[in-house]
Structures are given as C-alpha cells and as structure tokens.
Amino acid sequence: MKIRRVGAYGVCRDDSGRVLLARNSGASEFPGLWTLPGGGVEQGEHPDDAVVREFFEETGLSVRRTGLRAVTADVFRLPSGNLEHTDRIIYDISVLGGSLTPETSGTTDLVRWVEPASVPLMAFTADQLGLPAAYPEIPKSDDEVARPRRVQRFGAYAAATDPAGRILLARIAPGYPGAGHWHLAGGGTDHGETPEKALARELYEETSQHGRVTGLLAVSSRHDPAAVGPEGVPIDWHVIRAMFRVQVDLPTEPVVTEAAGGSTAEAGWFTRAETERLPLTELAREAVEQIDSEQAS
C-alpha cells in the first residue's frame, strides 16, 4: 500500500554550532537513527504550529520559528511493506526556554546537542545538514494508493512572473472548490514526487510554461472538515501548500495541456493592474502581495 504523511521539523544550533538531534526509539520505523526534532502534522494543524509542538514533546524545549528553510519529500518501504511518502517542511528554530528532556514514550528516546557527523542520521536530516545522504532506491510499484476519508494533501504552487513583470494565473474549473476564481498554477504532489518536480509538471500541465524556481516563499495550511470532492463524496480535507517563487524566462501563450476534466479551465498572463479586476483565491492574492513587496524592495 502507498501511504502519505506530512511532517514538520527544525534545525536548531547552539553557540558552538552543534545541532539538536533526537534518536529514534524502538517504536520508530527507523530505530537508532538520529533525526531533526519534529514529526507528523495533525489533521487541520498548521505546520508552523506542528514544529513548535513536536519540539516541546521531543526535547522539553520551548522554541520559536526563525525562518522557513526548505520543503522536501522522500519515500521509504516500511517493515510492514507499505511505501511511505513523507512531505517534510523544514524550519530554522531558536530556543526560548525549558530543560532538555527526552520524551518517555514515543518514537524518540534521547535528545542531545551533537556534531552531526558523529552519529548515524536519517537521510533527510543528513541532507539538510549538508552531509552525504543515502536515500534508498525505491522501484516503481503498482501498489494501491491509500484513500482515507481524512485527507492531508501536500501541494506545490508557483508565484510566477515573466521578464515584463506579468503574473501567471490559472482559473479553477467548474466542479472544483473555488470554481471561477483565479489561482496559482500548481497542485498536489504525486506519491514519490518531490515538490520541485511536481511544480514543474503542474506548471506545464496547467499553463504550458517552463519556469525555474528561485526561492521558497511560504507554507500555508487550510482545513475544511466538511469538503465535497469532485466525485461528490464528503471528506475531511486538509491542504498544506508550499508557494515557490518562479521565473518564466521565455513566456508563451498559456494553454491548458492537462487532460479534459482537470481542475484548470484556462490560464493567462496578467499585469498587476489587471489582477485587481480578477476574482483571486486567497493564495493568489498572497502571491500578488509577495511579488509587490519584492518589486518595491
């Protein structure tokens, strides 16, 4: 079975440059490996809040977020045989107070300030700390994708502009939440797909454009416990969205290339003034404001 989860983690260093790490316990799928403190985002929880909660549970420390570091994804085959895809949101963290205390009954059993090269690390942790990361080769699988009634969907979206400063937007098709509104190009990541690869695929499917990622702008969260999906089935819907800054150096006339019945009705390039007359989604409005701020600085 292909399963998915979303996790929030933090990089926290002391004055000497050591990193705060937690050791996976026997209750973990990866016992003995050291990891950045953090863990699963609960249904409806914002990753910003999840990382603070998980840090306290695993380390006994009260912390604050000082920056958004990265979003990544990896796939591992668990001892149960399931293929687990984890979308990971990584923050920079500083300590506010508390005493270093490991959790007593959880997936970690020890927490310390360490030199990362001195302990065996989870692959994503090594990657974030600039050390060699050994991700397993996962062959393509025809395993069924789990489809729970409570859905956590991780998506990647593009705040994309061309050299003239126009903004790329896509109109949501009838039958989908937000129908008729103009949204950022992007969408849900597939099982086994990194956010950047998903973004490139969605950007082309929805607009026929090729872009380059220049930065990670924000991560947002939206929870609708009584959403109705395209099939008319009610679901507890929690979407977590990573918004990337994208430059399209060679813009063309946008064309929707995804198969008929997709979530995009049409796409277009718009000047900043033109966006004021469009019905925009909350995420698209946030992107316009981010671009305004960027151009004003």
**Tens digit of each residue's pLDDT (9 = 90 or more) over 20-41:** 999 999 989 899 999 999 999 9
Confidence of residue 228 (pLDDT cuts 50, 70, 90): low
Q: Same CATH topology for 2-128 and 153-296?
A: yes
Task: Give the residue extent of every domain in the chain.
Answer: 2-128, 153-296
- CATH number for the domain formed by residue range(s) 153-296: 3.90.79.10
Q: Give the model's pLDDT for residue 55.
A: 97
Over residues 239-258, the pLDDT tens digits come to 999 999 999 999 999 999 87
Query: 3-state SS of the chain: helix, strand, coil percent to 5?
Result: 20, 45, 40
Q: Looking at per-residue confidence, does 222 or 230 come out higher?
A: 222
| More confident of the two residues 64 and 137 | 64
Placement of tokens 């395993």 in the chain:
143
Q: Which amino acid is at 232?
A: G
pTM (2 decimals)? Answer: 0.89
Residue 236 has pLDDT above 90, yes or no: no
Higher pLDDT, 98 or 297: 98
| β-strand pairing of 38-40 with 2-11 | antiparallel
Place of tokens 């996962």: 138
Say if residue 237's pLDDT is above 90: no
Question: Rg for the chain (alpha carbons), in Å?
Answer: 20
Is residue 182's pLDDT more than 80?
A: yes
User: Which amino acid, residue 268?
Assistant: G
Q: What is the pLDDT of residue 260?
A: 54
Lowest mean pLDDT across 42-46, 79-83, 182-186: 79-83
Average pLDDT in the 47-54 region?
Answer: 98
Percent of the chain with pLDDT over 90: 76
Give the pLDDT confidence of 96-122 residue by residue, as tens digits.
999 999 988 889 999 999 999 999 999
Q: Give the other-Cβ count within 10 Å of 204's Cβ.
A: 16
Query: In the β-sheet with 83-98, what is the strand arrangement from edge to edge?
Result: 38-40, 2-11, 83-98, 61-77
Rounded Cα–Cα distance for residues 23 and 33 (Å) = 6
- Identify the architecture of domain 2-128 in CATH: Alpha-Beta Complex (3.90)
268: β partners: 169
Across all residues in the chain, what is the average pLDDT? Answer: 92
Rounded to a whole number, what is the distance in angstroms from the first to the last CA of the chain?
48
